[in-house]
């Protein structure tokens, strides 16, 4: 025989157990490594694809739902918070024109951060507001 496995090695069941244990550890390491390597792989990071749609943003389709969700609870009616009404197109345009709409949701210095007492709007929502303003504040 060309290669003789020493009997002493094979017969030592303790050593076989150790070997199996090490193989299991190796498998675990591969599986855990495989899982964690995908953790931060968003499409945007990998390919520069941004799944936030900022094309053709309009008041009716995009801005109104954002405002209704996060702002008009305080900014509507006869005496809106801070004297800032956001419950119709013309009022929203006033805040957009004077910079306070974007400044406040972007938490820029010099503006009260909005929505007050709540989480910041998502990056996508802020991008959509920005796009809406930059593209002339379309109604629909």
Element (H, E) at 70: helix 64-70
Task: Please choose, out of 6-14, 21-29, 32-40, 67-75, the segment that lies near ligand HEC by the rule CB under 6 A.
Answer: 67-75
Q: Which residue has the tokens 């379309």?
A: 138
Number of residues forming the site for ligand HEC (CB under 6 A): 22
Q: What's the chain's Rg over C-alpha atoms?
A: 29
Residue 112's contacts (CB-CB under 8 Å, 6 or more residues apart) are: 82, 104
Of residues 6 through 25, those in contact with ligand HEC by CB under 6 A are none
CB of 51 to ligand HEC, least distance (A): 21
Q: Contact positions toward ligand HEC, by CB under 6 A?
A: 70-71, 73-75, 81-82, 84, 86, 95, 100-101, 104-105, 111-112, 114-118, 121
């Amino acid at each position: 025989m060309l290669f003789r496995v020493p009997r002493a090695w094979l017969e030592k069941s303790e050593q076989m157990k150790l070997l199996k244990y090490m193989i299991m550890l190796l498998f675990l390491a591969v599986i855990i490594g495989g899982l964690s390597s995908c953790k931060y792989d968003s499409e945007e990071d990998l390919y520069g694809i941004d799944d936030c749609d900022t094309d053709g943003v309009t008041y009716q389709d995009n801005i109104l739902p954002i405002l209704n969700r996060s702002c008009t609870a305080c900014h509507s009616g006869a005496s809106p918070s801070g004297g800032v009404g956001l419950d119709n197109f013309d009022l929203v345009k006033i805040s957009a024109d004077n910079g306070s709409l974007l400044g406040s949701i972007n938490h820029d210095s010099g503006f009260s951060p909005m929505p007050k007492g709540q989480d910041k709007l998502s990056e996508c929502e802020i991008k959509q507001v920005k796009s809406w303003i930059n593209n002339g504040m379309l109604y629909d």
